[in-house]
Structure 1
Amino acid sequence: MRRITPAALKAAIRDGRELAILDAREEGEFGSGHLFWASPLPLSRLPLIARALVPNPRARIVVTDDGRGLAERAAAELEAMGFADVSVLEGGTPAWERAGYVLFSGVNVPSKAFGEWVEHHYGTESIDALELKALIDRGERLLILDSRPFEEFTRMSIPGGINVPGGELAYRIAALAPDPETLVVVNCAGRTRSILGAESLRRFGIPNRVVALRNGTMGWELAGLACARGATARYREGTPPELEQALARAEALRRRHGVGLINRDTLAAWQQDGTRTLYLLDVRDPREYEAGHLPGSRSAPGGQLVQATDSWIAVRNARIVLIDDTGVRARMTAQWLAQMGHRDIHVLEGGLEGPLESGPWQPEVALPEVETLPLRSVKAALEAGAGRVVDLARSIAFRESHIPGALWGVRTRLDALAGRLPDQGLVAVTSPDGNRLAALAVEELEELTAARVGVLEGGVAAWAAAGLPLAADRTNPPDEACIDTYLRPYDRNTGVEEAMHAYLSWEIDLVKEIARDGDAGFG
């Protein structure tokens, strides 16, 4: 197995060639300290997401971990999948730090750091929670726009806010704020999407005063104010009537930041070019994507793509092509990615012309043949005390909803459940991705029990649809066991206020840390 020293990897980061740095730890472990341009590729989910993160099997890949041997296991799996240029960072992150290089805590670090850079570079105006509350109480003309996905918005939001995810803001703003005297306030949970959303509207050139809500919903709660729960106010769907003006403004930003325009012929040629990595990303709302999208494209809603770029794009210096229906959202997203340092980025003209596919994006993976256990059989086994459900959902999703008595686990770490599995009867495995992850875990569970192991027919969704009860327990799994996700402050069961303060300070300090690291390349 090939290895690369920290010094050689540092040089590779700077040589301008394609490079993917993949960290084989679970997201929660990854968040404890990693390389700036590393993307998390958890060993437990590697077969499902590797080809999406690194579409070209010829791409240069370096796999890292914290020295526990996970990188070697991941590298072997990648090579078995056909990736031809895979190395392991010698000594992992401890060796990187000993060499004098910077490790970053947290997740989505390039995007978070970029948000802080944008605020400093453009002088993005912001107001704090108490200032906003005073404006609301005085009845001032203002519009509060929450730039997060709807699922986050409805969980907790600023009272009176409207959900407009970041990639939709410039596209929808004319209809939302027709009065130029209306103050526009953009918020998220913390800082990044507030800053980028507000600056998108400022760069877009609307006549309104636009400000970011400093520290978002966290700042609101730290100021002693109560967030709303269950809000549903959202932008009006469909093509805005002000499309011509919006496209002209977005086109000006595309030109200013050197984003390319390509046609379908060029895209077809690039798709046949095995020497380069190509990302084909549809930046519309996921529901629009599912209704009809270009074959081979992946759903990457524009606001989230900028906020969590490393979740979609692992290969630095790759070709990136963005798609939407009218060109506005693709241009707005592309100009931010260009400023983030992605130099070979383009918008596809007429991106949705021609035959389209429908349905959600699915990973390209060959799943093993496993038994499907009928829902009624699993229910009967559970009632008789002769069965167990193993749920591989994200830990925070498991807390919110799971089959009563189910065990939560992480694939590749299932030996932790060995003493809690029955020796006979049924073990039904489920995962919310259509049981793909569950299918990969069946063989691993069969090594731990003599019980009959299979995937649960229809998963938890089918269980709920059948009217069967679900359980919720915010403490199961406990915070310290949630290695699969980097817990946000409000996901924690203790020390929430302290975690909020620490998180906000961490975001602000990222500007200093990227200066020390020297490889961000923003601008």
Structure 2
Amino acid sequence: MSGVTTPEHVREALRSGREIALIDLREEGPFSRAHPLFAVNIPLSKLDLLIGDLVPRGDVPIVLYDDGEGYVERAVPVLATRGYGNVSALRGGLAGWRDTGGEIFIDVNVPSKAFGELVEHERHTPSLPAPELRRRLDAGEDIVILDARRFSEYNVMSIPGGRSVPGGELAYRVRDIAPSPETTVVVNCAGRTRSIIGAQSLVNAGIPNPVFALRNGTIGWTLAGLDVARGGESIGANATPENVEKARARAHVLAEVTGVRELTPQGFIALQARREITLYRLDVRTPEEYEAEHLAGFRSAPGGQLIQATDEWIAVRNGTIVLTDTDGVRARMTAHWLRQLGWSEVFVLTEWADLSRVTGTEKPTIAGGLPSVETIVSEKLAGNAEDVLIVDLAPSPLHRKNHVQGAVFSTRAELVAGLRAKNVRSVILTSPDGLLATLAAPEAAAEGIAVRVLAGGTEAWGKHGLPLESGLDDGKVLSSTDDVYKRPYEGTDNAEAAMQAYLDWEYGLIAQLERDGTHNFRVLKDI
């Protein structure tokens, strides 16, 4: 480990544009309640599972912190064995950041959410309150409602009559969804950010239609006493060549104005060869298009979600980003937002000639590979399940939904301590696909515990028709269940007070940005 790094040094690196990764090793629950603006949450429980994709360069400066849990000391050797050689601890941890005047933020994906508030403030993004939209719909006005979230979120709950058009698809498809310039286009999400960025994307894209964000999204709709729809299946229209060309021309202008750089295949190959930069390669098309065919080495990062949650794909602030698509619209539209989000090196690659292509779903990059562990198949475990403790390392919401009958819950970070406390000497580990259980097994084995991993994890168990159960009994846990933040804008069971508190918090983000002073956001003015 490279010793300690002061909070002042981290802030100076952020302001000056140098590459740095500030990593919070706690679980998502504690992280959501207090963290620096550009801290990226990579829990110790999933560090070796996520670090290869989030921090793809081994010698980039990595600064780790916790809040006194001792996770930093445990994380350093994990990173060292996986080739990360420039790792230090944040002096004083989270308390040190606070005590030296660092701003503390709550919630998750905060850089993107704060940026959305700044965009609305500076661009005066037009919006409609929920009662006004309801009145216009009841009056029979010509309106289309486009839900900018992922389809899975839209399907859970949506504005009645809305259709799913994830944010990165809006400028690409809107001319075919609303061909008449008289049609009013309303963009919504669950809260504020994707509504604002989606609506402003259409304004930036120069469509002739009246465009509005639904103010406060489905939260605002619900707080107004209006009913949401459930199980929505309506999706946006396919983009026709004529309208793709119009969208492409405007996207090219926006990319040029914001300083996005174009790459040829040869230029991309040269960029990949540069070892002194941290390079992120992201395909911003839909997951379905990605799975059908994508460039080798690129991760799937649908454009709208990437802007909403950049820290879920990119942990090195000021790294270099290459975006790709097959249409010349979505990559440029996404890139023009990333430039405004403060990323100085953003490229688009739209020509794939002579570049290697692959198919299928994305696989995590596990630095150092998977360890060799003893496994047990579902059928054999089913006959002996009562004779051994089964521990499920799934996130607590997934464990509550269903888990192997009799399994107890634990986070990986607290697994060994929990087994020690109960004097367990033999254990079966499982996780949704078995991957996290495989990574965790050697840690328990190093403590003298006999460990086997359920082959294929809980998914394989379920596919064999073996008994699953739901719920999370307090007596069947080895660790805290505070591992996942319950978002007040997802699902249909949120308390009104929590939703209103969330909105009030978002309204205050601009003031926090000013106090923090590390963001380098640059909102595009009218062009």
TM-score by length of 1: 0.92
What's the offset of the Cα at 1:492? 9.1
Residues 472 and 180 of structure 1, relative CA distance in 2, 3 Å threshold = farther
More displaced 10-residue stretch of structure 1: 27-36 or 230-239: 230-239
Offset from partner CA, 1:249-288 (integer Å, 9 cap, x none): 1111111111000111111112111111111111111121
Aligned partners of 2:39 and 2:123: how far apart in 1? Answer: 27
Check conservation: 1:34, 1:104, Cα contact below 8 A.
Answer: yes
Paired position in structure 2 for 1:459: 457
Q: Alignment RMSD, CA only?
A: 2.5
Aligned partners of 1:168 and 1:461: how far apart in 2? Answer: 32
What's the offset of the Cα at 1:238? 7.0
Offset from partner CA, 1:303-362 (integer Å, 9 cap, x none): 111001111112122211001111111001000000010011010131476431112222
Paired position in structure 2 for 1:145: 146
Percent of matched pairs sharing the same residue: 48
Check conservation: 2:11, 2:518, Cα contact below 8 A.
Answer: no
Q: Of 380, 385, 393, which residue of structure 1 is paired with 2:383?
A: 380
Task: Determine whether 1:254 maps to 2:252.
Answer: no
Check conservation: 2:411, 2:480, Cα contact below 8 A.
Answer: no
Residues 237 and 376 of structure 1, relative CA distance in 2, 3 Å threshold = farther
What's the offset of the Cα at 1:109? 0.9
Paired position in structure 2 for 1:229: 230
Q: How do 1:498-509 residues align onto structure 2 when only pairs under 5 Å count? A: 498-509=497-508
Aligned partners of 1:14 and 1:139: how far apart in 2? Answer: 50
Paired position in structure 2 for 1:90: 91
Paired position in structure 1 for 2:525: none
Paired position in structure 2 for 1:178: 179
Paired position in structure 1 for 2:6: 5
Check conservation: 1:388, 1:422, Cα contact below 8 A.
Answer: no
Paired position in structure 2 for 1:429: 429
Amino acid aligned to 2:503: L
Check conservation: 1:167, 1:304, Cα contact below 8 A.
Answer: yes
What's the offset of the Cα at 1:166? 0.6
TM-score by length of 2: 0.92
Paired position in structure 1 for 2:518: 519
Amino acid aligned to 1:344: E
Paired position in structure 2 for 1:289: 290
More displaced 10-residue stretch of structure 1: 232-241 or 129-138: 232-241
Matched position secondary structure for 2:357: coil
Aligned partners of 1:282 and 1:489: how far apart in 2? Answer: 29
Check conservation: 2:382, 2:466, Cα contact below 8 A.
Answer: no
Aligned partners of 1:474 and 1:386: how far apart in 2? Answer: 21
Task: Determine whether 1:20 maps to 2:21.
Answer: yes
Aligned partners of 2:489 and 2:193: how far apart in 1? Answer: 17
Q: How do 1:152-301 residues align onto structure 2 when only pairs under 5 Å count? A: 152-236=153-237, 242-301=243-302
More displaced 10-residue stretch of structure 1: 31-40 or 8-17: 8-17
Q: How do 1:103-122 residues align onto structure 2 when only pairs under 5 Å count? A: 103-122=104-123
Offset from partner CA, 1:484-519 (integer Å, 9 cap, x none): 222112669997222111111111111110011111
Structure 1: gaps (5+ residues): none
Structure 2: gaps (5+ residues): 523-527
Residues 321 and 517 of structure 1, relative CA distance in 2, 3 Å threshold = same
Check conservation: 2:173, 2:239, Cα contact below 8 A.
Answer: no
More displaced 10-residue stretch of structure 1: 196-205 or 238-247: 238-247
Matched position secondary structure for 1:489: coil
What's the offset of the Cα at 1:199? 0.7
Check conservation: 2:153, 2:490, Cα contact below 8 A.
Answer: no
Aligned partners of 1:319 and 1:53: how far apart in 2? Answer: 12
More displaced 10-residue stretch of structure 1: 396-405 or 158-167: 396-405
Check conservation: 2:157, 2:492, Cα contact below 8 A.
Answer: no
Q: How do 1:449-488 residues align onto structure 2 when only pairs under 5 Å count? A: 453-473=451-471, 481-488=480-487
Offset from partner CA, 1:444-467 (integer Å, 9 cap, x none): 4457896x6322233232333333
Residues 422 and 378 of structure 1, relative CA distance in 2, 3 Å threshold = farther
Residues 517 and 123 of structure 1, relative CA distance in 2, 3 Å threshold = same
Task: Determine whether 1:356 maps to 2:357.
Answer: yes
Aligned residue pairs total 517
Matched position secondary structure for 1:251: helix
Aligned partners of 2:473 and 2:304: how far apart in 1? Answer: 31
Aligned partners of 2:97 and 2:298: how far apart in 1? Answer: 35
Aligned partners of 2:226 and 2:400: how far apart in 1? Answer: 26
Residues 123 and 353 of structure 1, relative CA distance in 2, 3 Å threshold = farther
Check conservation: 1:23, 1:71, Cα contact below 8 A.
Answer: no
What's the offset of the Cα at 1:134? 1.8
Aligned partners of 2:286 and 2:473: how far apart in 1? Answer: 33
Aligned partners of 2:466 and 2:182: how far apart in 1? Answer: 52
Check conservation: 1:418, 1:448, Cα contact below 8 A.
Answer: no
Aligned partners of 1:307 and 1:266: how far apart in 2? Answer: 28
Q: How do 1:282-361 residues align onto structure 2 when only pairs under 5 Å count? A: 282-351=283-352, 354-361=355-362
Aligned partners of 2:520 and 2:219: how far apart in 1? Answer: 29
Paired position in structure 2 for 1:52: 53
